[in-house]
Amino acid sequence: MLPSQVVGAILLVGLGLAGGVLLCLAVGQAYWASTALRVQQQLQRGSDAKTVSGRRLYGLAAVWLGCSALVIGGEVFAVKAVWERYFAPLPLHRVIAYVSDQNGSNDIWLMDEYGRTRALTFNMANERQPRWSPDGQWLLFLSDQAGNDDIFVMNAEGTMKQALTQTPESEDWISWSPDGKAILFTRGRLTDNQLCILSVDVVRQVATGESCIFITEGKINKPSFSPDGRQIVFNLGHDGWFRLWIVGSDGTDAHPLDSAAQSGIASWSPDGKRIVYRRAADYNKPSDLQIISPDDGALRHVRHIEASQVQANWSPDGQRLYFTSDPSDPPLADMGRLGIVSADGSKLIWLDDGENWVYGQAQSWQIESWDEHNRIVYSHKEDGQYDLYLIGSDGSDRTPLTDTPANEFHAVFRPVLPLKQR
C-alpha cells in the first residue's frame, strides 16, 4: 500500500495535468468561437438575419465560457481539497496567547495552530496576564503604559486596544466572569486592598460600572469566580500569613474557609463543588494539597508534596490535578517540578523536572492550560530563560513551542467553547 503522501502527490499531478488540458481546450475553443463569429458576421453582413445569427453566436459563446469557468473552478477546488487532505500541516494545538520579552519589554504575543507567532502589542510598556473572553474573541491584559498597571482589552487580532481603567493605583489579578459581562480584579492602594468587579460592554470597549465588594488592610491574592459566577474565592494575607476566604459576588457573606493554616492560591473545580488549594505550616514549608467544600468547609487531604507554594489546577473533567511549585530556601525535593495526580491523591506522575511554571487557572469555568487532547502548556526554565512547552498528561510527547533568547510565559489556550457547554 502506497503512503498517503505518495497517493496525494499522484492525485495532485493528475489533477494538474487535467487542469492544464482543460485550460488548453478552453483557450482553443474560445479562439475558434471568436473566429467563427467574425466569419459569420462577414458572410451575413447586410442581411436581415445577421442580428439573429450574431446574438445566437454570442449566446453560445457565453454559455460555453460559463461552463468552462465551472469546470476550471471545480478543478481548483479539487486541487485544494487534495492539498489540504495530504499536504497541509496538521494543527499542533489551539491558539495560545502568551507574554514574551523578546522586543525589550513584556508584550502580549499570539501563537497560531501551526506554531507561527506574532506580537499583538508593540511598545516599551510592560503587558502581562492575557485572559481570553468566554467566546475567544477578546483578550484582557494589564499594561503599565501610564506608569502603573491598568486593565486593557483588545480583539484577537491585536487591534482595537482600549483602556478600561485609568487610575493612579495598580490593578492586578484580572479575570472574566463566566458570562463575559464583567471583570474581576484587585486594586492596591496605600491604605488598603480592594476586590472589585468591573461591568463591561466588550463590543463598545467601555466600562459601564464598577463595584468594589471587599476592602481590607491585608493583601488580596488571585481572586476567582465560581463557575456559576455567584461566589469568589481568594487568599487574604495579614503579616505574611495568608488564609483562604470566600465572598458572594455581590459582596455578601465574606468569611474564611480555612483559618487554621497558611493557605496558597486556590482553584475551583469545573463543577463548582470543590476548591483545591495549598495548605502548609508556613510560606517555605512543605505543602499539602487539600480539597475543601465551599458550602460546608469539609476538608479532604489529597497528597503531601515536598515543595513550597504548590499551586494546583484542575483537569477539564475534574478528575485530576496538575501543579507546580516555587523554589524555596532551603531547597525542597519536589520544588519547581510539574506534576499531575488524581483528585483522590493516587497516581502521581512527574511530567517535567527543573523549574516549571503553569500560569494559574483564574477562570474556573475555562481550563486555560489543559486542552481537549489532554495536553498541558507550561513554561520551562533552562539556561536562565523560560520557553513554552506542550506535554501530554501522561508525560508523553514533550514538545518545545518556543526557542528564543527571550522569556516566554503566562501562556493560555484560546477557548473553543466555555467548559460548561462542552
Q: Which residues pair with 292 in a beta bridge?
A: 275, 299
Q: Is 344 helix (H, G, I), strand (E, B) or coil?
A: coil
**CA atoms of 282 and 286, how far apart (whole Å):** 8
Q: What is the CA radius of gyration of the chain?
A: 30
C-alpha cell at 144: 503599565
Residue 282 cell numbers, joined: 508556613
Classify each residue of 343-363 as buried b or exposed e, where b means 16 or more C-beta atoms within 10 Å of its C-beta.
beeeeeeebbeebbbbbbbbb
Mean pLDDT, residues 377-398 taken together: 94
Position 419 scores a pLDDT of 43
What strands lie across the sheet with 308-314, from one edge to the other?
308-314, 320-326, 338-342, 349-352
Q: pLDDT-based confidence at 40, cuts 50/70/90? A: low
Structure confidence by residue, pLDDT tens digits, 223-274: 999 999 999 999 999 888 899 999 999 999 999 999 877 898 899 999 999 9
Tens digit of pLDDT for each residue in 93-121?
Answer: 889 999 999 999 999 999 999 899 999 99
Strand order in the sheet with 193-201: 170-176, 182-188, 193-201, 206-216
Provide the edge-to-edge strand list for the sheet that holds 255-258. 219-225, 231-238, 241-248, 255-258
Using alpha carbons only, give the angle 366, 230, 206 rounded to the nearest 5 degrees: 70
The whole-chain average pLDDT of the chain stands at 84
Q: List Cα–Cα distances, 313 to 83, 229, 233, 254, in angstroms.
A: 40, 18, 14, 23
- Indicate if the alpha-carbon torsion angle 119, 120, 125, 128 is positive or negative: negative
* Kind of pairing between the strands at 399-400 and 408-413: unpaired
pLDDT at 167 over 60: yes
Task: Spell out the residues 6+ positions from residue 147 whose beta carbon is closer than 8 angstroms to its own.
Answer: none
